[in-house]
Amino acid sequence: MAETDEIREKLVTTNRKARHDYTILDTYETGIVLTGTEVKSLREGNANLADGYAMIKNGEVWLLGMHITPYSHGSYANVDPVRTRKLLLHKNEIRKLIGITSEKGLTLVPLKVYFKNNLAKVLLAVARGKKSYDKRHDIARREVERDIRRKYAR
C-alpha cells in the first residue's frame, strides 16, 4: 500500500472524563471549523475537552467549552480560546442527531480531537449521563476484572 493511500491519524487530546460521566450510545466523526492559529496550536497538542459539549442550533452543530490555547507564535490572529466552533456533518446526520437529542437525558459530548489525513476531526458521542451509583458500579466491575487478570497472569 502506498503511503498516500493509508489513513494517518494523530491524536491531539481525549476527554477522559466523558467515559466516566456518560454512557456512550453512538459516535460520529465530524470536521471542525478552525482558524489558522488554532490549527497550529492543535498540532502542538494544546487543547482541552474536559468541559466541552455540543448543541444543535438552527440546523447546525456547534461545539462549546472546548479550550484551544492561543498559538505561541501567533499575534493578532489568535482568537478567543473557548469560542464556539462549528462542527461539520452531513445534513442527514444532523437530522438524526436532532431526533436523538430531543429525547430527554441525551447530550452530545466530544470524546477526542485528532488529525486524520491532515484534517482536524472531532469524535462526537451521543451520551446519557450516569448516576453516581452507576459510576460506583463501573469502578467496582473494573477492579474485579483487574483482580481476575492479576490472578490468572501468574
Phi, psi of 96 (to 5 degrees): -65, -40
Q: Is residue 126 part of a domain?
A: yes
Q: Closest Cα partner for 66 from 34, 26, 40, 22?
A: 34
Q: Is residue 39 part of a domain?
A: yes
pLDDT at 74: 75
Q: Is residue 2 part of a domain?
A: no
Secondary structure class of 21 (helix, strand, coil):
helix
Residue 34: pLDDT over 80: yes
Q: Is residue 119 part of a domain?
A: yes
Mean pLDDT of 1-28: 79
Calpha distance 87→33 (Å, rounded) = 6
**65-119: per-residue pLDDT in tens?**
999 888 888 777 778 888 899 999 999 999 999 988 888 888 899 999 999 998 9
CA torsion, ordered 30, 33, 39, 43, to nearest 10 deg: -10
The total of structural domains in the chain comes to 1
Range of the domain at 65: 9-153
Query: Which CATH number belongs to the domain containing residue 74 in this structure?
Result: 2.40.280.10
Q: Is residue 4 part of a domain?
A: no
Secondary structure class of 99 (helix, strand, coil):
helix
